[in-house]
Structure formats: structure tokens, C-alpha cells
Amino acid sequence: VSLSDYTLGVGQGSYVDDALNENPGLTGAELKFESDTIQNKYTKTCHDQLLSLYAYQLGTDGKIIENSGIDLSGNLTGNKIEWQSPTEGNWIVTQVYSVAKKPSLDPMHPLSGKSYVKHFFQRFEDRFPEQSKGGLNFFFSDELSFNLHGYIWNSIFRNEFRKRKGYDIVPYLTALFTHIGPITPKIRLDYNDVMVSLSEENFFIPVYQWHEDRNLIYGCDHGGRGKDVSEFGDYFRTQRWNQAPGCDQPNLGKDIIKNKVASSIAHLYKRPRVWLEGFHSSNWGTNTANLTDATFANFVMGQNLLSLHGFYYSTMGGWWEWAPPCNHTHMPYWEEMGPFLECTERLSYILSQGYHRADVAILYPVESVVAGYDQTAVQKAFSLGEYLYREGVDFDFMDYESLAKANIKNSKIHISGEEFKVLIIPSMKAIRHSSLKKALQFKQNGGIVINLGELPEATEKKGLNDPEVRSLLNKLFGPDSKNAFVAKENQEVLDILDTNLTRDFRILSQQPQKDMPYIMHRKLGNKDLYAVYNVPSGTECFFHATGGIELWDPWTGKTKEITASKTTDEGTIIQMPMEKQDLHLFVFDSAKKAIIAEVPQTSVSKTILLDGEWSFDLKPSLNNKFGDFHWPATDELLGAYIYKARYNQASSETADWQSPSFDDSGWKSQTFTYGTKFMILEATPELSEKELLTHLPYQSNRVQIDNKEYTWKPYEFSWRWGVEN
């Protein structure tokens, strides 16, 4: 049982607003930038809360000349500046100032997390001190927003920055908004590092720790779901402070990037749970096959805790909808949900055990975005991830802090129980200096390093034009380099992988129609667990594991020994025994030997032909006790209902309208059960009743009054059903 904070955030009249009312100092501020290009004398009234006032000389190319900045704050009289440029030519005068954003919550404020806890989570424990301990399992944070954007600021930032970075940021604030020379990327990376660190220490960690102290899970589905890499400054660093990092998958979605960001955070920071919020907005036609397919696919991609999107307290006669369906009592298949939920529990347990295994780590490209480059690095990283996974190559994203603290041994990157043989840098023109040094160490230890796209050019150490960066890159990717490669396209990356290592999983059979394979490998002590989904029966697959093989059934919990088609020194070949709709859990036990099949293993399923005439019954299954489907409420089970239909007059074109492939999208749509209809004007002019009566819709659908045209439109409602949607 959990509680969610959805719709209770900043400015929504709930606990965050309570915190802001108690302590208005929690309100955040954003940095703003303004510039003027001048040639001689400059006079201007500056903004309140001014932080930086600098003049820079412009070159003939219109760009700021390096080291030309002049601090003009000493020329201020009150908030007015009068200044004469010392040389002819163009100069640019810049102001950086802060503006309070109301309402907002400043995550860098020392009391932000404590106040957040006090006004929301702690209230439940205070009100029910004993019951909450045994009755609450977790809290769910949905679409967290501080209502702050861009560069944020507060009264402690300047001193904290000086303590952490050893210099004053104020003289360099202009660099956050425009290029002032080679030092620019360094300033932006340093600012971001301090901003994220303060947000972690003052907001994210206190919230995480409150749950950790109570053995509660704190799950999340936040704004960009990891696709906005710089959300909260650094999505990876901030979201590690959840017991269950996660994302939603609306419309039965199977987004590999969202899943991989969430599960990679979990893997690298030892968070055993990965939250799946599924599957809002798939609509009322969603059936158990849809639900099972989406759950299996997302679990194999890295999720292991399912939270079905919502249970509606009431659907108010069948017409109230918010991101339907409700996969609970409102669905005709609810009585049959038990086996599915038990299956999900077994999968949640087993896919939370041990350690994830994938050969490839792709650097999560926060630095390039933070340093002011375009989205190329993000696009390259996500495109490559999607491409590799579709080809059966599993991967994790890796943040720079995990790479920095990882151990390099036996040609692998070792971190938090994970092991990676390949490190990929996705066109990151800005990168952490530590990442380049660790990449070189990894390569020298026999690991494989691949740069996809453009090479790095800037780090937080000195910014651009750093000789040490050029030296590191030359040692990594120079002409005499081994184990390190520069690739232009995704296919090149795959070719490099196939040339230099044995894949962890590979489909060997030629498939008539190439489906997306879903694959996960976990190490459970001396056992290797492979979860495989959406691979047809009879398909031959290679697994980079050896030992006796069992097939575990998540529906029943039963296990059975199965045979291999072939074994090699590198691994095992298995012919898939079940259909693509079945989730295969193969467990290899290294303490035993695989049994080789004397004849090819055949599918366990068979086809039954339903020929001749046959019939079926529609059984009532919708419990209307609370008026969920029909008003008034009735103690009966309702049968099939038609609320809407598309229709067309019979013609030769509709002869095959019962064919599944027939396109009826252009037919007229009709909603049933509505009664009263009336017409309204889309804009109401100031008219007397007598004047209005002269413009009734039966006279003309278009009304022109005072040279302005209005249009009547139909509007339907029912005293019984309400208003549709």
C-alpha cells in the first residue's frame, strides 16, 4: 500500500505550499541575463538583485575577446551605471541578476528536504504512529517539479561555490549565458556540479534517508524520465536518491531508453527495485494479453516493480475518465487477474536478485548538454542504445561518478557488482577529465573503448584547448592505439563489438520477420539467469553461459530441466521451447553439466482448428454495485455495453466491412445515451434577448454582429450521464 504526491506539488494548495507559507525563504530564484552592445559612452539603470556587471571587448568576428572582461560594479551609483569604453570599437556590457520565482521550491536551500518531509511524509507517521509502520510499504513521487528552470541561485551559493571549487563564480557568471573564451565550458560544468551537489545534500538525500530509516521504498516517475539528461541539473545523480528509480510506460509503451536510465541507476547504486508505472492511457479496450505483453517486455528491459496506473474510486456511471483504463474492478477480466499478479510478484522477486550482466556501458552524456553544446551527444547515446538492444546487445548507461570510482581489472570495469567489457563515449564534446583518464586506464588494461561521433574537446579542468586533454585523446585513439576505436555510425559499433568479443546473447536462426528481442542476464551466485521474451519457438539462440539448464515458469513457480542443442567452450545453444508470447527464464547452473538433445527440441504448443459452426456466450462481468457503469447503482452484473459506435450508410463500399483490415476510421461517430441538446455561441456578444432571438441557429449557422462573425456549435449533456469526457 502506498501514497503518491501527484497533484500535490508547488502551487497546488497542498504540502509544498504549506512549507512555503511556513518558511517563505524556501522560494527559489533564477539567474537572468541581459546585454547591450556599445561603442563609446554607456548609461543605464541596472536590475535589482544585480550580481555581475561586466564589459567585454568584441573582436572583428563579433565574439568576445579572451581576458577582456572589466568589472563595472565599482562604477555604479545606486543602481545606475555610467561608463566610457577605454578603446574604440564594439564592446558588450552584461548584467547577471537573480529573480525570485513564485511559487517555487529551492532544492539547494538547507531546509528544503527537511521541510518537504515534515509537511508530507512525516504527517502520516505523526497521525498514525503505529499503523503506518505496518501499513505503508512505499511512497511514490510522480513528476516532481520545483517550478524552477535554467540556472538557479540563492544566498548560500556563492560561498559554497568558493569552498568547493576554490574560486569566486560571480566574475564568471556571464559565461553561463554566452561564450567568454576557452574557460566557458569549465565555468558551466563547475556551476552545475555545485548546484547538483547542494540539491542532493539539502533535498534529495534527506527525503531518501527518511524512507531508508523506516525501511520504506521511495519510487518515482519524474518529468523527463531520463531523456532530459540535465533535469534537476543531472538526472542520474539526483535520481540515485530513490529506493526505486523508475518511469512510466503509457499506452502499453516499451521505451528502452527510459527503462535503461532507471535500471542503470539502480544497478550502479545498489537500488534493488526499479519502478514501472504502467500503463496509463492504453484505454478501456486494453485486455489481459496487452497487459501481459507490456509487463513482460518492460520487466526484461530492467523494471521489477509494477504499479498499475490507477484504481478509480468511482467512474461515475461509466463516463468519468482520466488516462484510462483502471486495471482493477472496473475491467471485465478482474476476476482472472490473480494468476497475472502472482506471476508479476515472482518476476519482481527473481529479477531483483543478484547482479545485472551486460558487456556494454554507454556514458550518460550530461556534460555536453551542461557545457552548452547541442543535443548531439544525447541523440547519439539514445540512438545507439536502441540500436544495440534491438540487435540483442544489452547495455547500461553509466554516469561519470560511477566510472570514476570503478575498479579496472581483468579487462573489465567493476562497479557495484556489475562488470563491463566495453565503454562507449557518445559524441561528448564536453566530458569529465576523470572519465578520460579512467577510459585510458581501462584501455591499457585490455578493455574496449569506442568513441561514437565527435571526440571530446573540453573538460572541467581547464575548459577548451587543454594540452593534457589532447594528450589523453592521442593515447586513447591515436594511430598506434589498440582496443580503442572511433566509429561514425551505429553499425560500425556493432561490427567492432562482434570483432572483439563474444556476445552475451545472440539469435542464430534466420527469422522470417525480425522481431525485437527482449533480453536480460543476471548473475545469481553460481547461477546465470537469462530472461528472454518475444523470440519465437524453435529459434536457435546462443547464451554466453554453461552448465545444467532449467526453465523456470513465472506463472506457476515450477522449474524443469531442459536440453541444449549444442555446447561450446564459449557458451550454450538452445532452441527456444515456447512461443514468443511466453517469457523464458533460463537458469544455468555451473555446478552441473548441460544435457544435449539427441533430436531438435520441438515447441510445447499446438494448434487446434475450430472448424464448422460454433457459438459463444457473453457473460455479464461488470459489477454495478457502486454505479460505476450505469446510474443509478444496481445490485447486478452488467453485460456487454455499447457507449459509442461508428456507422455508415450501406453501399457497395461497405460490403466487406466485417473484415479485420477494413478501414472504418472515416465513418461518422455517435455517442449513445445522451438526451438533451442545445446550441451555444463560441463567443457571446453583448446582446439583448430580443437581438439574440434574431440570430437563432435554425436561421443560419453563422452569425455576423458588428462586423464580427460567430459560429454556433452543438453541445450535448445528460442529466443522467453528465458531459462526455
C-alpha 535/C-alpha 583 separation (Å) is 9
Q: Output Rg (C-alpha) for the chain, integer angstroms.
A: 31
Look at the block and give the residue holding cell 540539491.
Answer: 199
pTM for this one?
A: 0.89
The answer to whether the beta carbons of residues 54 and 175 sit under 8 Å apart is no
Specify the range with the lowest mean pLDDT, choosing from 233-247, 374-388, 687-701.
687-701
Backbone angles phi, psi at 371, to 5 degrees: -75, -5
pLDDT, one tens digit per residue, over 295-337 is: 999 999 999 999 998 888 888 777 777 899 988 888 888 888 9
C-alpha 7/C-alpha 143 separation (Å) is 9
Report the pLDDT value the prediction gives residue 68, as an integer from 0 to 100: 92
Among 66, 87, 84, smallest CA distance to 75 is for: 84
Report the pLDDT value the prediction gives residue 157, as an integer from 0 to 100: 98
The set of cell numbers assigned to 212 is: 531508508
Report the pLDDT value the prediction gives residue 670, as an integer from 0 to 100: 74
C-alpha 198/C-alpha 160 separation (Å) is 9
The answer to whether the beta carbons of residues 234 and 367 sit under 8 Å apart is no
Specify the range with the lowest mean pLDDT, choosing from 97-111, 271-285, 316-330, 525-539.
316-330
Percent of the chain at pLDDT > 70 equals 92
3-state SS, residue 196: helix
C-alpha 494/C-alpha 450 separation (Å) is 11
Q: Which residue has the higher pLDDT, 125 or 680?
A: 125
Q: Is the peptide bond before 365 cis (omega within 30 degrees of 0)?
A: no
The set of cell numbers assigned to 248 is: 512510466
pLDDT greater than 80 at residue 725: no
The set of cell numbers assigned to 378 is: 544525447
Pairing of strands 644-647, 677-681: unpaired
Among 195, 147, 174, 138, smallest CA distance to 34 is for: 174
SS3 content of the chain, % helix, strand, coil (to 5): 30, 25, 45
The answer to whether the beta carbons of residues 458 and 428 sit under 8 Å apart is no
Among 561, 523, 279, 498, smallest CA distance to 419 is for: 523
Residue type, 14: S
Q: Cβ neighbours of residue 132 under 8 Å, at least 6 residues apart?
A: 124, 125
Q: What is the 3-state secondary structure (H, E, C) of 202-266?
A: HHHHHHHHHHHHCCCEEEEECCCCCCCCCHHHCHHHHHCCCCECEEECHHHCCCHHHHHHHHHHH
3-state SS, residue 481: coil
> Sign of the C-alpha dihedral, residues 410, 415, 417, 420?
negative
Report the pLDDT value the prediction gives residue 591, as an integer from 0 to 100: 94
pLDDT, one tens digit per residue, over 170-196 is: 999 999 999 999 999 999 999 999 999
Q: How far apart are the first and last CA of the chain?
A: 29
Residue type, 510: Q
pLDDT greater than 60 at residue 618: yes
The pLDDT of 42-59, averaged and rounded, is 95
Report the pLDDT value the prediction gives residue 2, as an integer from 0 to 100: 77
3-state SS, residue 381: helix
Average pLDDT, the chain: 91
Q: Cβ neighbours of residue 143 under 8 Å, at least 6 residues apart?
A: 6, 9, 221, 222, 223
Specify the range with the lowest mean pLDDT, choosing from 35-49, 157-171, 340-354, 449-463.
35-49
Q: Is the peptide bond before 325 cis (omega within 30 degrees of 0)?
A: yes
C-alpha 681/C-alpha 690 separation (Å) is 16
